[in-house]
Structure 1
């Protein structure tokens, strides 16, 4: 069996590594130039896109921002999983909001800005604290602007003045006073069967995910059930096939959807070492219509992103249950270079291991770990 992945980054690399034991060959496409690459070595393969599409059983994507022409070609072949509608919905916040509203799924109060002249009225209608998000191409905090006082207005006007809001509208959301951010990663097969991993608790810094803890602490059965209902409603509405992530705000006993990701997701990386079947293998299984793997959580796990940093000791793998996943990229600011999974039998033991881990890491690049050490120790 063969799979072609639109995108040639770390997610395609991890799909390749998870698929190989199943006897599944994975190749990647650099969507900027249509070159076919080996997902790990990044070596260019002497194949053109037309041949690669004809040669594989399934086409999938590691990220949402794939040129629509490429999605159309794959959709016409009948091999694209998830379908083009799902990928385009994940790539466009306006479409995403429309999907959530059509399913009756709670999300932050919002307005769509299509004209620069609408900016002040929209912000005034939403209240004192508003986050403005580019409807496309925004991630890891990019393409976002925060309005928290009148002093912010001039900077926002300057940032938006040069944008074509008719082509790429702005989604203005009322800021949510949430208790925490959590995410549910799960899979759906072609015949509508779904299975989800335990919910992860996510800690962000400057718009980027830094740490995920799974299973999330102090999560009631009622909230778990609500998250499952949301996942099922979204995947059924999209006729989804593959792994999908749903990012959520917990507000008391309620859940609001922040965004969806129609792919394997950073907050699911913990499954590589903490679950019976990792998200990457599960995505391959679902897309190829293989039986889904067991999603039982084997260990309490912390996933720590390595961002813009190479100056740490590889001796950290001497810690029992500590696993390094390196992407092989050139370092630059805010770039995800790899991640670390730390597994333990309990939250208390995980706290102790994170304390050990920090002796190998430069603290300025890992600002969220110290706070988690004390919190997890108290559970």
Structure 2
């Protein structure tokens, strides 16, 4: 079976790697160059998008920000999953909030902003502090502001106004202000749903961020109440979108109650641990779902951690001398802060995982791999 992925980055690359053993042949559409390429070898197939759509059996996506004309063309083919509604939801926070309201899934109180008066009203309605986000084109902490004092209002509005003005009548830009929620931690759930409505959900993962970018994900035993809340949210949202494929949902854990932070209609960074911690990774399950194959097992086989490699051209080779440690590289040119790859580490139990993370912390510099040492200490003393 031939599958076309919209987007030619690391997620398409990993889908290709996971698809080959299932005889699922993945090609990627590079949105920037408008070329159809092999996501691993970068071979240019010399096809137009229209030609690629005609020759593949299924079309899917590795990201949300797909040009509207490309999305329309793919949807017209009847081959595109997870579908236009899901992609639009993941790419626009105002649509995302409307879906959460409709399904009754908890999230932070908010107000949409298109003019300065709306921002003034948000301060009165929601009270400070506020988290302000662009509804379109935001990722990894970009396009966000923190409003903690009324003195900041004019300065932040000047930056917001520039983003709003850069929109058009066909593609308006909007901004959302949310009440800042004091939370204990961020967690995420990733699940797969097929066209028949069958669902398989992975265990909830705890995520750690540095400057708005995910640095470490921890898949260990989680309170059953948290897992149940995440499963209920997944079921409601996937059903409402008639979703097909892998869906990721990020939550704030507020004293044991989950509130949605963000929805991602695709495989997700916080699910990379599934490559080593489960029998069927998120990448394989996404391909299975869109290709009409039975969904694979999502149970955790062993405690696992994922460490992002940010801006580093290589990792110390000593890392690979530790048992059950594997590296995954994305084939990117090096740039400060860029996601270059990730490291997965598994163990028989949480204490052993703590010991392995401690070994890694002695090799990996804290400034480049924040949180590894602290997570190791926590697992060893809990």
Q: Shared topology, TM-score over 0.5?
A: yes
Q: Give the alignment of 1:169-318 within 5 angstroms.
A: 169-215=174-220, 217=221, 219-310=222-313, 312-318=315-321
Secondary structure of 2:307's partner? Answer: strand
Gaps of 5+ in 2: none
**Contact between 2:360 and 2:372, CA under 8 Å: does it hold in 1?**
no
**Partners in 2 of 1:119 and 1:108 — Cα distance?**
16
Alignment of 1:93-104 (within 5 A): 93-104=93-104
Deviation at 1:63, TM superposition (A): 0.3
Instruction: State the aligned residue count.
Output: 377
Aligned to 1:198, what secondary structure does the other structure show?
coil
Q: For the Cα contact (< 8 Å) 1:311–1:362, is it kept in 2? A: no
Question: Could you give the per-residue CA deviations for residues 315-337 of structure 1, whole angstroms, max 9, x where no partner exists?
Answer: 31110010000111111122100
Q: State the Cα distance separating 1:154 from its structure 2 match.
A: 4.1
Which range is displaced more, 197-206 or 364-373? 364-373
Query: Aligned partners of 1:45, 1:339: CA distance in 2, in Å?
Result: 29
CA-to-aligned-CA distance 1:131-189 (integer Å, 9 cap, x gap): 00000110001000111233433431231132226721111000111111100000000
Q: What is the deviation of 1:311?
A: 5.0
| 1:106 aligned onto 2:109 | no
RMSD of equivalent CA atoms = 1.3
- Give the alignment of 1:51-90 within 5 angstroms: 51-90=51-90
Task: Give, in whole Å, the separation in 2 of the partners of 1:206 and 1:124.
Answer: 28
The answer to whether the 8 A contact 1:312-1:360 is kept is: no
Alpha-carbon distance between aligned partners in 2 of 1:37 and 1:291, rounded to the nearest angstrom: 28
Any idea what the Cα deviations from partners look like across 1:302-358, whole Å, max 9, x if unmatched?
A: 000011122531231110010000111111122100000000111111111111112
Q: Distance in 2 between matches of 1:310 and 1:368?
A: 20
- 1: CA distance between counterparts of 2:30 and 2:296? 29
> Aligned residue for 1:35?
35
Asked if the contact 1:4–1:60 (Cα under 8 Å) also holds between the matched residues in 2, the reply is yes
Match of 2:322 in 1: 319
Question: Quick one: distance in 2 between partners of 1:147 and 1:38?
Answer: 44
- Matches of 1:123 and 1:333, distance apart in 2: 35
- For the 8 Å contact 1:196–1:295, the answer to whether it is kept is yes
Comparing 230-239 and 220-229, the one that deviates more: 220-229
SS in 1 for 2:312: coil
Q: Could you tell me how far apart the structure 2 residues matched to 1:85 and 1:154 are?
A: 35
> Stretches of 4+ moved more than 4 A in 1?
none
**What does the per-residue CA deviation read over 1:247-266, in whole Å, with 9 as the maximum and x for residues that have no partner?**
11111231111111000000
Contact in 2 for aligned 1:312/1:362 (Cα 8 Å): no
Q: TM-score, normalised by structure 2?
A: 0.96
- Pick one of 344, 347, 351 that aligns with 2:354: 351
- The answer to which of 151-160 and 272-281 deviates more is 151-160
Give the equivalent residue in structure 1 for 2:336.
Answer: 333
